[in-house]
């Protein structure tokens, strides 16, 4: 395996930069590949936090990206895994505090097209003979992630010489990187690339479409989502292209980093526990209630940690929450996003003091504490490419309640007479996209919660599941081998 060399290109990676699940995946998967013997290296934009935390040093390599825009390639290490990371140091594009995609008002940076075209072009250049010889790393695979890296195979197509194979991973089809067609010259792409058989999408440039069209292989983050995106509901206008690439489209389930998400070793918890000491979980529930000013109660506590968007189905939670409270439950909610949804959740917390807690924003410690302290975890997503919180929940003995879509359907085994008999059930699923269906599913979970022996078995079933990145990494290695063993 030592001769397998992969450049993993991403706009974010935990712990140096994270805004969501992509950051978790990009931090954990390359590390798992490295542990499996792959020479995996990251390429990240030179945000201030990345430059500071990777302790990267000047390689002396300058990349001419666009007229008047050059970048210095730096080499450092990730602080937790010590994985090699190349940092694209271009202050005019990346030296900005805060979110890598939006300004302080939540608006997209106006030059995002150029910022992530630069990342894509740098990746393509690192696969060329001149640059790879200078850095002493010759990637066999360039593994791109989401629209921010989608132009990589497009740039590579127009560069001379032999090139690495490119894998394009879709983490969410809803984000497509759409920009005006008249930016083609600015992005240093030829006119013939602006074509239906290329990166053109309804008169615009689509970074994501470029990746889907030009890459050697396309992956997404669950088998069910790989099927869903070939239809009109989840394909977002690209279902035809994805259908034409069906034989080069694979759904691979994400893993979780058990060094970060393990109730037996989690430093954020008030008391650690495992499947053999589940009674200690109750200490975290009591402490979480006290911290969030929830009433002491024997009612089940339902946790939610999410972006507040239409995709996540939070509007259905808001509609069903009063009836769920009436049936006997509490809520601990952490999230940010849509201002109208934030306001409605804050209003529910005011309406049901001691029963509903809403914390606006994202807090790493609190997200761990909710996973450990909650009895149930609710994810009513309209679509969910993979999802990570349902995996965290099972690892923490917190029973997931999810909608039957994408990776949620692939990872949560529903409670049925058959799965109870076989000892495989891990959670509750509902199909219909409605507050009533959500309520009925939660109500079923509340009834089951009143059977302590059965509930304990569901907890243990989930905690015994293996969602390690080691397992996922092996699937990616098998895919890489399709190209490196030709």
Query: What residues form the annotated binding site for ADP-alpha-D-glucose?
Result: 18
* Partner residues linked to 478 by β-bridges: none
CB 319 within 8 A of CB 433: no
Q: What is the token pair recorded at 327?
A: 């049936």
How far apart are the C-alpha atoms of 17 and 227, rounded to whole Å? 30
How far apart are the C-alpha atoms of 254 and 179, rounded to whole Å? 29
Q: Compute CA distances 467 → 2, 261, 410, 476, whole Å.
A: 25, 11, 12, 14
Output the known binding site.
18
Q: What is the token pair recorded at 268?
A: 């954020």
Instruction: Give the strand pairing for 69-77 and 84-89.
Output: antiparallel
How far does CA 324 lie from the centroid of its chain?
29
Burial class (CB within 10 angstroms; exposed 0-12, middle 13-18, buried 19+) of 299: middle
CB 382 within 8 A of CB 403: yes
CB 29 within 8 A of CB 257: no
Burial class (CB within 10 angstroms; exposed 0-12, middle 13-18, buried 19+) of 194: middle
How far apart are the C-alpha atoms of 36 and 40, rounded to whole Å? 10
Output the CA torsion sign for 268, 274, 278, 280.
negative
- In a 13 Å sphere around the CA of 132, the CA atoms on its Cβ side amount to 21
């Amino acid at each position: 395996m030592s001769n397998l060399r992969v450049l993993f290109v991403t706009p974010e990676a935990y712990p140096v930069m994270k805004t969501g699940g992509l950051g978790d995946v990009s931090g954990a998967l390359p590390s798992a590949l490295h542990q499996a013997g792959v020479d995996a290296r990251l390429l990240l934009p030179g945000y201030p936090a990345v430059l500071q935390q990777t302790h990267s040093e000047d390689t002396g390599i300058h990349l001419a990206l666009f007229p008047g825009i050059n970048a210095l390639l730096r080499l450092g290490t990730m602080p937790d895994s010590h994985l090699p990371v190349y940092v694209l140091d271009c202050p005019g594009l990346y030296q900005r505090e805060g979110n890598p995609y939006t300004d302080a008002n939540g608006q997209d940076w106006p030059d995002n097209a150029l910022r992530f075209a630069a990342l894509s072009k740098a990746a393509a250049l690192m696969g060329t003979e001149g640059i790879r010889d200078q850095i002493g790393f010759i990637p066999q695979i360039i593994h791109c992630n989401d629209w921010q890296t989608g132009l990589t195979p497009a740039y590579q197509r127009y560069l001379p010489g032999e090139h690495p194979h490119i894998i394009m991973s879709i983490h969410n089809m809803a984000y497509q990187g759409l920009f005006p067609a008249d930016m083609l010259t600015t992005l240093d792409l030829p006119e013939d690339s602006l074509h239906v058989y290329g990166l053109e999408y309804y008169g615009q440039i689509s970074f994501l479409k470029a990746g889907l069209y030009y890459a050697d292989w396309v992956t997404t983050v669950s088998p069910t989502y790989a099927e869903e995106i070939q239809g009109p509901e989840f394909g977002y206008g690209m279902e035809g292209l994805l259908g034409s690439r069906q034989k080069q489209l694979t759904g691979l389930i994400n893993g979780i980093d058990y060094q970060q998400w393990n109730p037996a070793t989690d430093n954020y918890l008030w008391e650690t526990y495992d499947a053999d000491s589940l009674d200690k979980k109750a200490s975290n529930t009591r402490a979480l209630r006290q911290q969030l000013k929830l009433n002491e109660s024997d009612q089940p506590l339902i946790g939610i940690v999410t972006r507040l968007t239409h995709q996540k189905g939070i509007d259905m939670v808001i509609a069903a929450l009063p009836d769920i409270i009436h049936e006997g439950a509490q809520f601990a909610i952490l999230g940010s996003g849509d201002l109208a949804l934030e306001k409605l959740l804050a209003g529910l917390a005011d309406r049901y003091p001691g029963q509903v807690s809403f914390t606006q924003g994202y807090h790493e410690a609190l997200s761990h504490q909710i996973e450990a302290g909650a009895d149930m975890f609710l994810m009513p997503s309209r679509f969910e490419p993979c999802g990570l919180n349902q995996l965290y929940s099972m690892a923490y003995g917190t029973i997931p309640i999810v909608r039957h879509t994408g990776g949620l359907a692939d990872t949560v085994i529903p409670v049925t007479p058959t799965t109870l008999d076989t000892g495989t059930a891990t959670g509750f699923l509902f199909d219909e996209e409605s507050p009533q269906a959500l309520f009925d599913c939660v109500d079923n979970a509340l009834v089951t919660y009143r059977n302590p022996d059965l509930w304990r078995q569901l907890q243990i079933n989930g905690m015994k599941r293996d969602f390690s990145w080691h397992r996922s990494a092996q699937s990616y290695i098998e895919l890489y081998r399709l190209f490196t063993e030709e």
